[in-house]
Amino acid sequence: MEIFEVAAPEGGPSLALHGGAGGRVEELALDGRAPHAEGLLAAYRAGWEVLAAGGSALDAVCATVEVLENDPLFNAGRGAALTATGQAELDASVMTGSGLAGAVAASKYARNPVRLARTVMERTEHVMLVDPDVEFLGQHGLEVVERGYFITEPRRQQLERVLDGRAAAARHGTVGAVARDAGGRVAAATSTGGMVGQADGRVGDTPVVGAGVYARDNVVAISSTGHGEAFIRGVVAYDIAARIRYARADLAEAVRDTFEEELTQRGSTGGLIAIGGDGRIVVAHNSPAMFSARGTGPEPTLTT
């Protein structure tokens, strides 16, 4: 297991993002690491611009994730992994440290699912919606696209390789961001196309509060990526938060212990980004690799 830590800033903001654990997809890796690094950097800068201007952690994580959803190299929004029938079904979630949360599962028409998740949180009395229709999106001013918008040729090729047995179904493609703003508030956002070749209607951990995403002020904000079913069974994000909140565990210690008990010992892999209540950042994964960017200033540290 690999863990990277960034020290807490002196009262300033912190930001971290991930572009999935497990490494690059063969069909998307022809140009090497550079395009992925550029995508991570663009997403980080979008979020940091919000924080540097005094914006909220929620605004920062949503801005960050939206850039990744628009980049076809990552498994979220356009360029998302495809189901067994060749369609894109998208999940997303947002959560603030004050305890508010919104999520969407099997979204098919919202260009940016993270915006839809935020809309659920801020403009409805619900926490999660499944397969909201175009009328709902229009009522709330969200951009609507045809389902074909999300499908790219590299993802079609990836699905073919999985269905004919030439490749294993990738379980680690998800994007997310966590932030602590200058006011000490934390937030998390996560977005995904799920697992390549998954059954239509399958929902992973991304939209499940406490599994793939969790945030509580003065404790932690977490966004996860990996074997979604394992993160759900282990309630991984909340388990880490509970260790910190109730057992007074150190952030890195809590992440390490939860991974060992809920993932490694059960033969599952994945990764996460976390920001503590003090702004300290932890990036961890027990998968072969993980895309990430993290920092407490305008220029992040990248891992590709």
Q: Could you report the per-residue pLDDT of 255-268, keeping only the tens digit for each?
A: 999 999 999 999 99
Per-residue pLDDT of 174-189, as tens digits, reads 999 999 999 999 999 9
What is the band of 172 on the pLDDT scale with cuts at 50, 70, 90?
low
| Among candidate residues 25, 21, 304, the one with its CA nearest the CA of residue 153 | 25
| Higher pLDDT, residue 9 or 50 | 50
**Domains of the chain, each with CATH number or no CATH:** 2-303 (3.60.20.30)
Q: How many CA atoms lie within 13 A of 270 on its CB side?
A: 36
SS3 (DSSP) at 243: helix
From the list 83, 96, 174, 190, the catalytic residue is 174
Rounded CA-CA distance 120/124 in Å is: 5
Instruction: Inform me whether the pLDDT recorded for 131 exceeds 80.
Output: yes
Cα maximum dimension of the chain:
53
Q: How many CA atoms lie within 13 A of 15 on its CB side?
A: 33
Amino acid at 281: I
The strand order across the sheet containing 290-295 reads 128-130, 101-107, 90-96, 186-192, 175-180, 14-21, 290-295, 301-303
Contact indicator for 294, 265 with CB cutoff of 8 Å: no
Lowest mean pLDDT among 30-34, 88-92, 126-130, 270-274: 30-34
pLDDT score of 28? 58
CB atoms near residue 84 (< 10 Å) = 16
What average pLDDT does range 37-60 have in this prediction?
Answer: 98
**Residue found by looking up tokens 């994007």 in the block:** 175
Helices (H), the chain: 34-52, 57-70, 113-123, 134-139, 153-163, 228-233, 236-247, 251-258
pLDDT score of 52? 98
What average pLDDT does range 65-89 have in this prediction?
Answer: 97
The verdict on whether 174 is a catalytic residue reads yes
pLDDT score of 48? 98
In terms of Cβ atoms closer than 10 Å to its own Cβ (0-12, 13-18, 19+), residue 10 is: exposed
